[in-house]
Amino acid sequence: MRWDEQNQQVSEDIEDRRGEGGGGGGFGGGGMKIGLGGFVLLAVLSLVFRKNFFALLGGGDAGPSASTGVSVPAPAAPEEQRRVKFVSFVLDDVQATWTRELPRAGRPYHHAKLVLFRDAVRSGCGYAERAMGPFYCPVDEKVYIDLGFYDELSHRFGAPGEFAQAYVIAHEVGHHVQTILGIDERVRRAQQDRPDQANALSVRMELQADCLAGIWGHSTEQRNILQQGDVESGLAAAAAVGDDRIQKAATGRVNPERFTHGSSQQRTEWFRRGLSTGSVASCDTFR
């Protein structure tokens, strides 16, 4: 991707909590509540990363994180600092794109924050560890990412390249767009009303976020930011985190009924759709 590393400043929308550490045990309040889809996801993650993610259920917090300001960044190697600048560039560019595009869908856009952390973090949606991967919390409207995930994306999942890294951020900001449009709230209500459809609705949410990430990718093509191989890098990232690939790696089997994010083919298809059309209307995965 074409970006000016030398002049790139850290985004005002980044909260750097790398110096805070993950904190101890858990929150008060009776523990984190998850449905069947969440249970399956934790089981798969535990197998893939050989960590007990069910330990996270021992403490949870339904309220926003107590941390609201920007902490003092932890010392970092030059390569990590370069990643911070790159994440800043992508975050600002994605949000500038939605500031232009979302009013066409009838809603003004307001910025999400992106939290950088190491190992573990307290969020408005509860306690999370690095191995759970990047995520968006609709409660505090923040994206959370441990930069070490990009090493996992490259080496474990076989999706190297800057555009693959950018796709991850654009996907999570896509969830923020869903929150603004009220899609997230409607889906959560539908999941409560129809628990048997919870996983299928989760898949539709994730595929739509992939398509919305593709809309940003379309914008970068129009502005000549992409370089040769970037699109392939983004598609590889979408495929790498497909449920079928993760299940196959964890258990040797694939069970579509337990998908929560969609298959590799579905994820690449919807990302490609946003990439080719640049239209929010083309991202209706619920029809």
pLDDT above 60 (res 39) = no
Report yes or no: 53 and 129 within 8 Å, Cβ to Cβ.
yes
Comparing CA positions, the residue from 132, 137, 168 lying closest to residue 150 is 168
- Describe the strand order of the beta sheet including 135-137 as a list of residue ranges: 14-16, 113-116, 142-145, 135-137
Mean pLDDT over residues 88-100, rounded?
96
Residue 153 DSSP class = I
What pLDDT is attached to residue 185? 95
pLDDT band at 87 (very low <50, low <70, confident <90, very high): very high
Report yes or no: 150 and 165 within 8 Å, Cβ to Cβ.
yes
Strand ranges (E), the chain: 14-16, 113-116, 120-123, 126-129, 135-137, 142-145
pLDDT band at 32 (very low <50, low <70, confident <90, very high): very low
Burial 28-45 (b: 16+ CB within 10 A, else e): eeeebebeebbebbbebb
Q: Which amino acid would we find at residue 66?
A: A
Mean pLDDT over residues 167-180, rounded?
95
Between 259 and 155, the more confident residue is: 259
Burial 105-118 (b: 16+ CB within 10 A, else e): eeeebebbbbbbbb
What pLDDT is attached to residue 75? 54
Comparing CA positions, the residue from 48, 47, 57, 59 lying closest to residue 23 is 59
What pLDDT is attached to residue 251? 82
* Sign of CA pseudo-dihedral 124, 45, 17, 78: negative
- pTM for the predicted model, two decimal places: 0.78
Report yes or no: 194 and 250 within 8 Å, Cβ to Cβ.
no
Between 93 and 34, the more confident residue is: 93
Four-CA torsion 88, 90, 92, 95, nearest 10 degrees: -140
- Percent above pLDDT 70 for the chain: 77
User: 36-49 vs 198-222: helix axis angle to the nearest 10?
Assistant: 70
What pLDDT is attached to residue 44? 54
Mean pLDDT over residues 90-101, rounded?
96
What pLDDT is attached to residue 230? 76
pLDDT above 60 (res 237) = yes
Between 264 and 181, the more confident residue is: 181
Mean pLDDT over residues 177-189, rounded?
96
What pLDDT is attached to residue 76? 62
What pLDDT is attached to residue 253? 84
pLDDT band at 57 (very low <50, low <70, confident <90, very high): very low
Compute the residue count for the chain.
Answer: 287
Residue 46 DSSP class = H
